[in-house]
Structure 1
Amino acid sequence: MPERRAAGPGVTGRTGVVALAVSLALPLVGLALLLWQPEIDVAWEDHPAHFWLVLAAAVVGALIAYAMGAAALQRGDARVLLASYAFFVTAAFLGLHALATPGVLLTTPNAGFVLATPVGLVLGAVFAVWSGSDLGGEQDVAIVRRAPLLRAAIVVVVAGWAALSLIRVWPLDEGVVPEQVDGVLAATAGAAVVGFAVAAWRYLRLWREGRAALPLAVASAFVLLAEASVAVAFSRNWHLSWWEWHVLMLAAVLLVALVARSQWHEERFAALYLKDTTEGEREMSILFADLQGFTTFSEAHEPREVTQMLNAYFEVAVPAVAGRYGGDVDRIIGDALMVTFNRRGDQPDHARRAALAGLALQEATATVLAENPGWPTFRVGINSGPVSVSVLGTAGGRTHTVIGDTVNTASRIEGKAPAGGVAVSAATLALLPDAEAEPLGFLELKGKSEPVEVFRLLSVG
């Protein structure tokens, strides 16, 4: 059975799909007509219009890349990450092309800045094809782990291209403007067309699996970028055929931006996630924490005072578990805090991280408690084991969370923990060979034939 995703508005009507296909084909038909009838390919040279049009496309593309990249790193999804780099590198080189407008940064056309667009399209196509390939498992984790390196490489390439263009190093010297070199442009355009066509086909397959709008929008954007690549190679400078590829690039990024904007803000790019991100399994450690005596405190104090107390605690508790030890705060409900470790599969030492985070949380909140005698006290429970990661919900309310017996047991262990202490399961303790702990007894759990032994963690070692 194909994978189905509850990921937002669907696109299923045959009429709508046909209309979209016709719409995507029209720019190519228009370009062919302009090239076939040169007399209607009129010239219009307007430098300010060119600058703002290209800059708008670059800015929108950069915003899309940023939003996708942030979601990808948060969820550890290689597909969304690589797709973000496809838009990032295209937008970056398009920005250089905007600066090539005479009178903006330079007084005369610059070969490197003019050629920046087709180069950016080729590099963008590489990332687009890569993002649509079969990813998952260790490959997914490795790509996300190398995200800073990939991002830095793109920045270096763009900055290097700009520098070489400004100092006019061969072949970006003061020779013929590259737009007049048909062979160079045709070669780069051909590579970009093939790459974006392959990427579009792969995202169309993803759309067919779930019928969500976003994969179709990305596929359509790649089609538009492929058509823009054709126009780059064959259009005439400052003529309608030349303006067409500028408009196509703006349309491509606007399409993705508008469809992404229409998605529910939580997990906006969920329709693009890899299966490992939405239905994968991880070996994880789960930390639960709540305040013993919270109900009694709430009954005796005004809501404003309760809120101030919770904020004072969470201001030190969240950085202790998330910032220092890389935990992901799954949710905060009232006085309860749930934190996951190894959510993206990149923390093999998840048990140690969770244990240290639990002790750090107690140390940080103890300082707050010392300044406010009479406040309730945190207790922490930790369990390790197999967990299912999943996107739950649909349009109007989605969340990326973890579920399974390991999670439920962690929650029950937290209830066994003494005030101010950290309780861990035997499964977690087994992953901490140098830890010091003392037994707290056994926990009877519904549905389990054997009770769960719980220990109070004293140190990690």
Structure 2
Amino acid sequence: MPTNDLMSTSTEERPRSEPYLPPATQPVRAVVWAIHLALPMLGLWLLLANHDDLNGKWHDNLSHFWLIIAVAGINVVLGVMIGQASARRADARLLLVSLVFLSSAGFFLMHGLATPKIILGKGTYGFDLSQPVGLLVASVFAAVSALPLSERAARAVLGAQIWLRGGLAALLALWGAASLVPGLTALSAPAPGAGAGLGGAELAGVALYSVAAVMMFRLHRRRPAAMLVSLITAYALLAEAMVAGMFRHNWHMSWWLWHLLLTLAFVFVAYSAHLQFRREGTGAGVFDSVALSATVLRIRAEYEDALEELVGHLRRRAETRVPVATRLAGKFGLTEGQAAVLDRAGEALANERELSERLAALVDTGRQARVGLPERELLTQALDRVRQAYGDVRMTLVADGRVAMGSREYGPADFPGGEPVRLGGAVVHPLTVKGQLAGALEVPVGRTPQDEALAATLAGQLSIALENARLYQELSTLFRQYMSPDVANSLLADPRTAALGGELVELTALFADLKGFTSFSERSAPGEIVEMLNRYHTAAVPIILSHGGTIVQFVGDALLALFNAPAPQPGHATAAARAALAMQEAAEEIAAGTAGYPRFRIGINTGLALVGNIGSPELRGFNAMGDCVNVAARLEGIAEPGTVVIGQSTLDQIAPRPRVRSLGELSLKGKEQPVHAYVLSGLP
């Protein structure tokens, strides 16, 4: 799997605060690079400005022929290699770049074959025009290759590749015949010694190469790569070669200059490809950095898939017993050295991935061990999550002082000092609660030292979770037997809620007691009194709790329940009224079956009250105080057995309006102003 510059971080992945400058575009290097490109033009100016002194003539037909043949050969090899990369990656830009090299190489070859006294006796128009025409054709491919082609345009280019290559081959064949067969066309006719040119068309070629170089430079800014720098340089040198060739002083130094520029352009790219090949050990990805963005993203996805496959193979290699490199080298075109390195890197990646998964499982186990989760559900969820990261994990709780794990049993003596027991391919860790053996956790032996430490941490986390679950169950059972669930939940979630103090809250208070309880007590045995109270409260308590009420007091035969405290409760007045009517219905069923039982009377009132923990630092209780609660107690006192009396403030908050009977304005003990009261008989 070749690695190349396309894997470098793109600008989208870099911080925006400081723009990234790749090495070739850093200020100093950019200046040096520009100077190198400017030197040939300076040399051309010197040659032309001092025509007689410097721009001397060197006429060597054979040297020219072999130079052209060698450079054209290099160019053809480059074009073929880039074309193969285009076919392998299905990339339109690589196809166009390959045509740049093939077209310039083809016409350069025609120029070499037309060298005087090789095939033809004299210099011809074909000899003069072959390279300008070739450079012009190549400039069109270069400009198009630098464009950010859309997917639709890229598909169109790839779909037309047969026509593009075939058309180029046909053009070269026709040009060769026209320029090399004597008398066939004007191209094979002798040309004046000063040479022929294309006129203004050459300027168009220079402009196209310049645009291509600028566009490739912008691509290099987004995706730094050595091959892109080489291509930019080649386009710039080809543009300069066209400029040098426009002066047409055949066989003079200025004429040889454009040959030198062409040679440098092609050799520069070839040398960069050679260095890339040596660095990677394969030619599969030498030109990937030049490809379109969609191709680069696809290549990155292929590499990621390859790494995932590698990790998967590494995890299964204990079962397959086949080296990973053997299975992947052929698929991804790896050399033996690359496969060995990738094997070791993949193993490190697999270990790192496994470590990350086990850390995540440890975190999730701690998150799942929340207060209130039943012990069995807690352990089941934790075990399911742990098995995803650790594999075949088993957990057993203690029974009769022993832990049965498969065919083996463990006791406290098997884990001296809390140390685990090692059994070949597994390690058994003790689970403890309050320092006593509560169970055991069997985990497969890991491949790294971190695995053993994580397994021990996991056992400790499960021990804590198990102890918390059991402690919470004990506290929850104890709290809920002595206080309302809302108060118990609040205390368990945040012990600071037990602090002394309170706040002013609007609530609905419900007072209930048993009318006739005193006379019943005088004629009944203590056991009968307790049984009677328990029967009534057993019926009343679930009703109040199911309607969202909080019971804060039991005083003999009386109870006080609050609605909208401590937990907020919309429609608390209606909920209290429904609970009261349901209590009376249940009480009637109890009293109907036993003669002489007293009857509930209930008073309800809504208003502001101070709600909180009242008492001392040593002993406190949750309660409510205020005029609202006092009025509820007074209304309960005037209620007839089996009825519910509500105050005006409660009636105003019950919607839709219930069925009531007015008792008029009542003067209640402790109240200066009369209170309008009603007997509640039903709700819509």
Q: TM-score, normalised by structure 2?
A: 0.41
Deviation of the 1:169 alpha carbon: 4.4
TM-aligned CA distance change 1:31 to 1:209, over 3 Å: same
CA distance in 2 between counterparts of 1:244 and 1:204 reads 25
Corresponding position of 1:278: 296
Aligned counterpart for 1:224 among listed residues 237, 259, 272: 237
Contact persistence 1:189–1:232 (CA under 8 A): no
Deviation of the 1:75 alpha carbon: 0.2
Aligned counterpart for 2:38 among listed residues 12, 18, 25: 25
Residue 211 of structure 2: SS of its match in structure 1? helix
One-letter amino acid of the structure 2 residue matched with residue 93 of structure 1: F
Residue range with higher mean Cα deviation, 186-195 or 130-139: 186-195
Deviation of the 1:262 alpha carbon: 1.4
Considering only CA atoms, is the larger Rg found in Structure 1 or Structure 2? 2
Deviation of the 1:106 alpha carbon: 1.9
Q: Deviations over 1:372-413 (max 9, x none)?
A: xxxxxxxxxxxxxxxxxxxxx9xx98xxxxxxxxxxxxxxxx
Residue 180 of structure 1: SS of its match in structure 2? coil
TM-aligned CA distance change 1:87 to 1:336, over 3 Å: closer
Q: Map 1:219-368 to 2 at 5 A.
A: 219-263=232-276, 264=280, 265=282, 266-280=284-298, 334=326
Corresponding position of 1:190: 203
What stretches of structure 1 of length at least 5 have no aligned partner? 289-293, 300-305, 308-331, 341-392, 398-445, 448-461
One-letter amino acid of the structure 2 residue matched with residue 239 of structure 1: H
CA distance in 2 between counterparts of 1:283 and 1:203 reads 24
Aligned counterpart for 1:44 among listed residues 51, 58, 61: 58
CA distance in 1 between counterparts of 2:12 and 2:290 reads 12
Q: Deviations over 1:141-160 (max 9, x none)?
A: 23223222211111000001
Q: Deviations over 1:173-203 (max 9, x none)?
A: 525349534xx43323212211111111111
Deviation of the 1:63 alpha carbon: 1.1
Aligned counterpart for 1:206 among listed residues 216, 219, 230: 219
Q: Deviations over 1:33-77 (max 9, x none)?
A: 111111210111111221122222211111111111111110011
Does residue 82 of the first structure (1) align with residue 92 of the second (2)?
no
Residue range with higher mean Cα deviation, 206-215 or 114-123: 206-215
Does residue 103 of the first structure (1) align with residue 117 of the second (2)?
yes
Does residue 128 of the first structure (1) align with residue 137 of the second (2)?
no
Q: Map 1:441-452 to 2 at 5 A.
A: none
Does residue 174 of the first structure (1) align with residue 189 of the second (2)?
yes
What stretches of structure 2 of length at least 5 have no aligned partner? 1-9, 15-21, 310-315, 333-337, 343-387, 390-684
Residue 88 of structure 1: SS of its match in structure 2? helix
Q: TM-score, normalised by structure 1?
A: 0.59
Q: Deviations over 1:209-260 (max 9, x none)?
A: 1222111110111111111101111141111001100010000001111112
Q: Map 1:53-64 to 2 at 5 A.
A: 53-64=67-78
CA distance in 2 between counterparts of 1:297 and 1:102 reads 71
TM-aligned CA distance change 1:203 to 1:282, over 3 Å: closer
Contact persistence 1:60–1:257 (CA under 8 A): yes
Residue 11 of structure 1: SS of its match in structure 2? helix
Contact persistence 1:118–1:232 (CA under 8 A): yes
Q: Deviations over 1:266-287 (max 9, x none)?
A: 4111211111101149999x9x
Contact persistence 1:118–1:188 (CA under 8 A): no
CA distance in 1 between counterparts of 2:186 and 2:87 reads 37
Residue 185 of structure 1: SS of its match in structure 2? coil
Corresponding position of 1:384: none
CA distance in 2 between counterparts of 1:281 and 1:267 reads 10
Contact persistence 1:121–1:225 (CA under 8 A): yes
Contact persistence 2:123–2:191 (CA under 8 A): no
Corresponding position of 2:83: 69
TM-aligned CA distance change 1:180 to 1:338, over 3 Å: closer
One-letter amino acid of the structure 2 residue matched with residue 77 of structure 1: D
Contact persistence 1:119–1:188 (CA under 8 A): no
Identity %: 33
Contact persistence 2:148–2:292 (CA under 8 A): no
CA distance in 1 between counterparts of 2:217 and 2:172 reads 30
CA distance in 1 between counterparts of 2:103 and 2:93 reads 16
Residue 258 of structure 1: SS of its match in structure 2? helix
TM-aligned CA distance change 1:142 to 1:277, over 3 Å: same
Contact persistence 1:136–1:275 (CA under 8 A): no
* Backbone CA RMSD of aligned residues: 3.7
Contact persistence 2:104–2:135 (CA under 8 A): yes
Corresponding position of 1:146: 160
Deviation of the 1:113 alpha carbon: 3.4
CA distance in 1 between counterparts of 2:329 and 2:77 reads 32
CA distance in 2 between counterparts of 1:297 and 1:4 reads 39
Contact persistence 1:3–1:210 (CA under 8 A): no
Contact persistence 1:12–1:211 (CA under 8 A): no
